Structure 1
Amino acid sequence: MTFENKVVWITGASSGIGKELALTLSKTNCNLILSSRRKDELERVKSACNNTENIKVLAFDLSHYANMKTIVEDAVKAFGKIDLLINNGGISQRSPIIDTTIEVDKKLMEVDYLGTVALSKALLTHFIENQSGHYVVVSSLMGKFSSPFRSAYCGAKHALHGFFDALRLEHDKDNIKVTMICPGFVNTNVARNALTADGSKQGYQDNMTENGLPVNVFVKRMVRAIEKEKYEAYIGKFEKFGVFVKRLSPKLLHKLVLKSRVR
């Protein structure tokens, strides 16, 4: 596929991967809808983009998933259709299971899983009517295997794979595509904004994230995976090989992850 003349809707577009996607795709001949909770930040991102006349801002909160039908209606009105929904919005978590309140688990599921699923379901009728559509879901390598101190995050990301694999199967007949993007460590503020055991933000960067892929490098690889309509893309440094190690030997991966002591 190509982004030429497409309408692309990006959630989580106010920072990190979403912001870089907006900057990158604004250089192509496509229309963009940028979404996140913070309208002021979205406007700043829009101002930094090329072809701002082809960009609309639509602020909403993924955790308010009962409102998604209205949100989708507003998005479709912006340019008359949606071709791609890039589900990038979400939060991470860093805390031991034994200390993590159930409210934190609930928050991760509401934002990372239920919000994304509700938005995608609300858009599904539009895709079926057009007999065309492409869901891109920014999951994580943690959606394929787990790591200590990320239990709620891993649970939500694993759930996304289960849902969207089923959606791909059910709507193959409607020419609806699904691409799961699985980042490893990417140098964004994801660790700083991660929730800790009591729901407060971690507030600092970790070494693995700091030394992860530069966000512009990651986004270039992500865009190529979308254009190739890949089912899944694992994008990172050495950590991406954990997906393949798990297929061969879950016990070996267990030992390797413990040895790395990723925190």
Structure 2
Amino acid sequence: MNQKTIWITGASSGIGEALVNAYDSLGHKTIISARNQAALEQIKEKANNPKNIYVLPLDLNAPDSFAIKTKEAIEAFGKIDVLINNGGISQRSLAAETSLAVDRKIMEVNFFGTIGLTKELLPHFMKNKSGHFVAISSLVGKFGTPYRSAYAASKHALHGFFDSLRAEHYKDNIYVTIVCPGFIRTHVSINALTGDGTPLNQMDEAQDKGMSPEQCAKEIIKAIEKQKEEVLVGGKEKYAVYLKRFFPGIFSKILRKAKVR
């Protein structure tokens, strides 16, 4: 492949870190963003080609910084070809026990943070008449499950926004890929917010037995290369999307009884 520049948010761990390592091994340039600058620097130090990695700390809950951060990202290597919106936070709490402040925080980071950064980079893609936005959603972006009401809502919202964006900018040669991971072996459940906003600090059993971040990254990169509009990534849990679509009543009964926390 021709060398490209990929901007990855949520790059300090999990799927984001795996994507950085995969793109590094393929010889591409990456701009890596997250709040934890120290973790980003460590990833760069361990890379095969550290000169191809630019560390750009970013807080998705600080929209006032997006314009200057986007300008810095573009100037890092002169051009951006792909933005992978991977940063976000999850949830593990019942809707009735979750404060509205937590609902708002999850929506602010996962939805408004993602689309805010996307809108800042969009003129760059339009000017170049090329570009690729990747939104890391979730299987719960296709259906809601217990303990994830705000998280599911934020991911559902991403689908609506990026489906619209894809249609609006097809003429500009701008592509959109929505990725829906299932259970991936990351710290997403450990860092998930509970009803009062404190982290769960506990690994989900299903998460612990899930697909490795490295395999997930490979499938995401493959989907990007093929310019797929949407891709499901994970194990057998991804077939729940089809069960929901074709047998919604049965799906609802299973979901009510399932141990999904």
Find out whether 1:25 has 2:18 as its counterpart.
no
Same amino acid, percent of matched pairs: 48
Read off the aligned partner of 1:171 and give its amino acid letter.
Answer: H
Greater mean alpha carbon deviation, residues 67-76 or residues 171-180: 67-76
Q: Structure 1, residues 12-35: CA drift from partner, whole Å, max 9, x if none?
A: 000010001111110112111000
Matches within 5 A, 1:238-253: 238-253=236-251
5 Å matches for 1:176-215?
A: 176-215=174-213
TM-score (norm 1): 0.97
Aligned to 1:37: 35
Aligned to 1:92: 90
How far apart are residue 66 of structure 1 and its match?
2.3
Runs of 5+ unmatched residues, structure 1: none
Q: How far is the alpha carbon of 1:85 from its aligned partner?
A: 0.2
The 3-state SS of whatever aligns with 2:7 is strand
Once the 2 structures are TM-superposed, how far is the Cα of residue 226 of structure 1 from its aligned partner? 1.1
Decide which of 117, 120, 140 is 1:119's aligned counterpart.
117
- Match of 1:26, SS state, is helix
Query: Deviation string for 1:108-145 (max 9, x for gaps)?
Result: 01100000000000000000000000001110001001
Task: Tell me by how many angstroms 1:220 deviates.
Answer: 1.3
Query: Is residue 2:232 matched to residue 1:234?
Result: yes
Q: State the Cα RMSD in Å.
A: 0.9
Indicate the residue corresponding to 1:14 in structure 2: 12
Q: Could you tell me the TM-score, scaled by structure 2's length?
A: 0.98
2:35 and 2:218 map into 1 onto residues whose CA distance is: 25
Which of 99, 102, 109 matches 2:100? 102
Structure 2 distance, partners of 1:222, 1:76, is: 23
Q: Which whole-Å CA distance do the structure 1 matches of 2:243 and 2:47 have between them?
A: 40
Write out the 4+ residue segments of structure 1 that deviate beyond 4 Å after TM superposition.
Answer: none
Task: Give, as a single letter, the amino acid of the residue that structure 2 aligns with 1:159.
Answer: A
| 2:55 is the counterpart of 1:53 | no
- Choose which of 239, 258, 261 in structure 2 pairs with 1:260: 258
For residues 20-62 of structure 1, give each alpha carbon's deviation from its aligned partner in whole angstroms, at most 9, with x where no partner exists.
1111110112111000011111001111211111110000100
Say how many residue pairs are matched: 261
Partners of 2:47 and 2:19 lie apart in 1 by 10
Query: By how many angstroms is 1:247 displaced?
Result: 1.4
Q: Distance in 2 between matches of 1:16 and 1:161?
A: 22
Q: Shift of residue 67 of structure 1?
A: 2.0
Q: Secondary structure at the residue paired with 1:85?
A: strand
TM-fit CA distance, 1:200: 0.1
What is the identity, as a one-letter code, of the residue corresponding to 1:96? L
In 2, the alpha carbon distance for the partners of 1:100 and 1:259 equals 21
1:251 CA drift (Å): 1.5
> 3-state DSSP class of the match of 2:200?
coil
Question: Residue 246 of structure 2 aligns to which amino acid in structure 1?
Answer: L
User: Which sections of structure 2, spanning at least 5 residues, go unmatched?
Assistant: none
Report the Cα distance in structure 1 between the residues aligned to 2:239 and 2:64, rounded to whole angstroms.
38
In the alignment, is residue 145 of structure 1 matched against residue 140 of structure 2? Answer: no
Amino acid at match of 2:211: L
Shift of 1:260: 2.2
**C-alpha separation in 1, matches of 2:249 and 2:260:** 17
